[in-house]
Amino acid sequence: MNGAAPILETRGLSKRFGGFLANDAIDLSISAGEIRGIIGPNGAGKSTLINLMTGVLQPNSGDVLLAGESLVGRKPHEIARKGLVRSFQVSRIFGNLSLLDNLRAPLLAAVSTRDVRAEGVAKAHRLLERLGLARLADAPAKTLSGGQRVLLQAAAGFMMPSLSCYLLDEPFAGVNPVIKDQLIELIEEESRARGLTFVIVSHEMAVMRRLCRKVTVLIQGRIVAEGSLDEIASRADVIAAYLGRSFA
């Protein structure tokens, strides 16, 4: 929308599973500070795209660039340390660890300075407070409800010391409205306060409309549209792909 240099970029990114092309020459360009939405029907290749960007999967061709630096071939933990952090569609919290330890774990990525870690622990307490989970700080995470787990997983991403770009894979799926609001507020707040960049995969059109000025539509592994939600909502091919799903 403006001329700011993209912080996260993919160029011709493709991934093949056997004979099936899950991502087909994806060109994506996300500016610093942007909150980008990615929508698309199930099986469109959204999670695959995130896995390719974060090193969980290796692309068959194409490139991923973070602030101009190629990430292809890097290990997931290296990419995370560089500031490109992700959450999983199925939450990956540490069930037997306390909530506090769940939030401390990302501090391991810090190149080991006492200050960062001490600061981080203070921040972990603030986040728990902010999410209304302070009381449970020392309880094992597996005692949380499904929605609370989603919050905890999202919060853990914000704990990464070098976080610059946060990829959230369907964070709102199956979450009740109260928690949904909490999460949206958290994202908005962190975006404002730290100028973070977000890529959010979601089917929740209301949330998309509220958070994202620009949305990318992925269908059958290909980008078919990009623009504001209202712009793309009028496109017949997108509507067809969603087969009558409400855009309200």
Partner 1 sequence: MWSLELFTQALIAGVVIGVIYALMALGITFIYSIVKMINWSMGEFYMLGSYAQYLIVAYWLGPDLWYVAAILSAATVFFVGWLIEPILIKPMFTGGIERRDDYATVVTIALLLLLRNLATAISGPYQRTPGSNLPGVMLGPLPESGARFAAFLAALAAIALFTFLLKRTWLGLALRATSQSRVGAQTAGVDVLSLDKIAFGIGVGLAGLAGALLAPVFMVYPTDGVVTTTKGFEIIVIGGLGSVPGALIAGVALGVAESLGATFIASAYQNAYGFVLLLLVLALRPSGLFGERLRQA
Ligand X SMILES: Nc1ncnc2c1ncn2[C@@H]1O[C@H](COP(=O)(O)OP(=O)(O)O)[C@@H](O)[C@H]1O
Q: Which residues of this protein are in contact with partner 1, per CB under 8 A?
A: 54, 56, 75-78, 80-81, 85-86, 88, 90-97, 101, 104-109, 112, 117, 141-142, 156, 160
Position 194 contacts ligand X (CB under 6 A):
no
> Residue 58: how many CB atoms within 10 A of its CB?
11
Position 44 contacts ligand X (CB under 6 A):
yes
Q: Are 15 and 57 in contact (CB under 8 A)?
A: yes
- Least Å from the CB of residue 38 to partner 1: 19
- The listed partner (Mg ion, ligand X, partner 1, none) that binds 156, CB under 5 to 8 Å by sort, is partner 1
Token pair in block for residue 139: 């309880």
Which residues from 11-30 bind ligand X, rule CB under 6 A?
A: 17, 22
Beta-strand relationship, 61-66 and 6-17:
antiparallel
Q: Are 7 and 71 in contact (CB under 8 A)?
A: no
Indicate the residue among 45 and 59 with the shorter CB distance to ligand X: 45
Position 55 contacts ligand X (CB under 6 A):
no
Q: Are 221 and 22 in contact (CB under 8 A)?
A: yes
- Least Å from the CB of residue 193 to ligand X: 29
Burial class (CB in 10 A: 0-12, 13-18, 19+), 191: middle
Structure-derived torsion over alpha carbons of residues 135, 136, 137, 141, reported in degrees to the nearest 10 = -170
Indicate the residue among 53 and 219 with the shorter CB distance to partner 1: 53
Indicate the residue among 33 and 76 with the shorter CB distance to ligand X: 76
Q: Which residues lie near ligand X (CB under 6 A)?
A: 17, 22, 40, 42-48
